[in-house]
C-alpha cells in the first residue's frame, strides 16, 4: 500500500479491535494527545466508511488491527478507500505482566498507543490469489489430520475385538482386502464397522480430490517457479514445495536466514538475566505450517545422500545451479543427521536441528 508522507502532528492514529459483529475504535491525534478517544461501531462497510469520513478523511489516518479470524478484508477495504492500514502480529503485541483485565475497549486503547509509539510488528498481507492457494494447502493439511483420525478410530475399534493385521504394512491393497473380508455376527458391530470403514474411504477421497486441485498450481499460477526450485531439494515434494511457497510468498522480507528460522519457530527459546543464561527447546512460534513441512522434510536426510528416481524426475527442467545447490545441501544435511544421531538419544531432536538448517538452505535458494 502506498503511503503519503506527512507530518506526524497532522496524523490521526486509529487502533481497531475487530470482532465478528463490532469494532472497538481508539483514536489519537498527533503526537501529544495522551488519552485515546474510544467508540464502538458495527463491523460492516457502511459503518467503516462513515467512521473514516467522520475522522477527517482517509489521507490523515494511520490505522491498524491485529491479525485474526476476521482475515484481511478490512485491510483491503481501508486500502481501497486510501487509508494507510497495517495488520499487526498479535503474538508480538506487548502486554504488561500485571494487566489481568481484557476488554475490547482496553485492547483498542493499548493498540493505538503502541501503534503511535512504533512498538508493533506488522505482518505481510497476502493477495487474494495467494490467500486462496494458501487456504487450499491448509485444507489439505486438515484433511490429512481427519484421515489419520478416521484410520485410528477404525484401528481402535478392531483392536478392542483383538483383530490385528499382521501381514505387512497397514493401508496397502492387501490390508484393504483384509478389511473388506471382515464380518461380524452382531448387527450393531457390523453396522458400526461399515460406517467406520466408509468414513476412512470418504476422507481418503477428499484428500485425493484436494491433491488433484493443488496439482494445477504446479503448472500454472503464482508459484510455478518456486515449486520447481524448492522441489529440487530432497524431502520437499511438489505439494510440500507449494505449501512453503504460498505460506511465505515474499522470501526477501527476511533479511537473514536466522530471521526466517525465527519466523517458523525453529530457534531455541532463551531466558537469560544477569550472569544466568538458560536455553530451552525451540520456540514453536510463528508459522506452524512451514515448520511442520520442514521437519517432515528433515527426516529424509537420515539416509545417505543420493538422487532417487523421484528426485531425478523433479530435477527435470530445473536450472543446473539450483540442482547443484540442492545437492550440496543434501550432502551437508545427510552428514549432519548422521553425526547428530550418533550423539543424541532422541531422533526428534536431530530432525529438528536438521530442519532448522534446511530452513536456511531454502531461504538462501529463494533469495538467490
CA-CA distances (angstroms) from residue 200 to 25, 38, 132, 177, 208? 47, 52, 27, 14, 12
Q: What is the rounded average pLDDT of the residues 243-271?
A: 95
Mind listing the pLDDT tens digit for each residue in 55-109? 988 989 999 999 999 999 999 999 999 999 999 999 999 988 898 899 999 999 9
Q: What CATH homologous superfamily does 8-117 map to?
A: YqgF/RNase H-like domain (3.30.420.140)
Label residue 2 by pLDDT band (50, 70, 90). Answer: very low
Query: Which of the 8 DSSP states describes residue 351?
Result: H
Crossing angle (nearest 10°) for helices 238-248 and 187-219: 70
**pLDDT of 248 over the 70 cut:** yes
Which grid coordinates are listed for 174?
492387501
Distance (Å, whole) CA 162 – CA 72: 51
**Selection from 29, 115, 39, 25 nearest residue 74 by Cα:** 25
Length of the chain: 368
Range with the poorest average pLDDT among 14-23, 243-252, 267-276, 320-329:
267-276
Quote the pLDDT of residue 9.
58
pLDDT tens-digit readout, 169-187: 999 999 999 999 999 999 9
Cell numbers for 118, please give them: 512504533
Q: Which pLDDT score is estimated for 277?
A: 85
Compute the mean pLDDT over every residue in the chain, rounded to the nearest whole number. 94
pLDDT of residue 3: 46
CB 63 within 8 A of CB 78: yes
Distances (CA, A) of 124 to 4, 89, 121, 291: 19, 9, 10, 18
Q: Is 104 helix (H, G, I), strand (E, B) or coil?
A: helix
Q: pTM (2 decimals)? A: 0.90
CB atoms within 10 A of CB 164: 8
Whether residue 30 has pLDDT greater than 90 = no
Task: Taking residues 202-220, report their average pLDDT.
Answer: 96
- Cα dist from 252 to 12, 25, 127, 196, 332, whole Å: 31, 33, 16, 47, 24
pLDDT bucket at 4, cuts 50 / 70 / 90: very low
Residue whose C-alpha cell is 519466523: 263
What the block records as the C-alpha cell of 170 is: 497397514
Instruction: Spell out the domain ranges in the chain.
Output: 8-117, 128-222, 227-366
- DSSP notation for 7-24: -GGG-EEEEEEE-SSEEE
Amino acid at each position: 500500500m502506498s503511503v503519503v508522507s506527512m507530518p506526524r502532528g497532522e496524523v490521526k492514529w486509529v487502533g481497531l479491535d475487530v470482532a465478528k459483529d463490532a469494532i472497538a475504535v481508539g483514536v489519537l491525534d498527533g503526537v501529544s494527545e495522551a488519552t485515546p478517544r474510544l467508540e464502538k461501531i458495527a463491523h460492516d462497510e457502511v459503518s467503516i466508511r462513515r467512521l473514516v469520513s467522520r475522522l477527517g478523511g482517509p489521507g490523515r489516518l494511520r490505522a491498524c488491527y491485529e491479525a485474526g479470524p476476521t482475515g484481511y478484508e478490512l485491510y483491503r477495504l481501508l486500502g481501497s478507500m486510501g487509508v494507510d492500514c497495517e495488520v499487526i502480529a498479535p503474538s508480538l503485541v506487548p502486554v504488561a505482566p500485571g494487566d489481568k483485565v481484557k476488554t475490547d475497549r482496553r485492547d483498542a486503547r493499548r493498540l493505538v498507543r503502541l501503534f503511535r509509539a512504533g512498538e508493533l510488528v506488522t505482518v505481510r498481507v497476502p493477495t487474494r490469489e495467494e490467500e486462496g492457494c494458501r487456504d487450499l494447502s491448509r485444507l489439505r493439511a486438515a484433511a490429512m489430520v481427519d484421515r489419520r483420525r478416521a484410520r485410528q478410530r477404525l484401528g481402535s475399534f478392531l483392536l478392542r475385538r483383538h483383530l490385528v493385521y499382521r501381514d505387512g504394512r497397514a493401508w496397502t491393497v492387501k490390508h484393504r482386502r483384509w478389511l473388506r473380508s471382515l464380518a461380524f455376527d452382531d448387527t450393531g458391530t457390523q453396522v458400526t464397522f461399515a460406517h467406520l470403514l466408509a468414513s476412512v474411504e470418504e476422507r481418503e477421497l477428499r484428500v485425493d480430490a484436494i491433491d488433484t486441485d493443488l496439482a494445477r498450481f504446479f503448472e500454472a499460477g503464482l508459484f510455478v517457479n518456486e515449486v520447481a526450485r524448492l522441489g529440487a531439494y530432497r524431502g520437499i515434494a511438489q505439494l510440500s514445495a507449494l505449501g512453503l511457497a504460498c505460506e511465505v510468498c515474499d522470501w526477501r522480507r527476511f533479511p537473514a536466514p536466522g530471521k526466517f528460522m525465527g519466523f517458523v519457530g525453529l530457534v531455541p527459546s532463551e531466558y537469560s538475566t544477569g550472569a544466568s543464561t538458560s536455553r530451552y527447546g525451540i520456540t514453536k512460534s510463528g508459522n506452524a505450517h512451514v515448520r511442520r513441512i520442514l521437519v517432515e522434510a528433515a527426516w529424509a536426510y537420515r539416509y545417505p545422500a543420493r538422487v532417487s528416481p523421484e528426485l531425478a524426475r523433479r530435477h527435470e527442467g530445473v536450472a543446473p545451479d539450483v540442482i547443484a545447490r540442492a545437492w550440496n545441501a543434501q550432502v551437508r544435511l545427510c552428514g549432519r543427521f548422521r553425526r547428530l544421531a550418533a550423539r543424541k538419544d532422541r531422533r526428534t531432536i536431530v530432525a529438528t536441528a536438521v530442519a532448522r538448517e534446511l530452513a536456511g538452505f531454502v531461504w538462501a535458494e529463494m533469495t538467490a
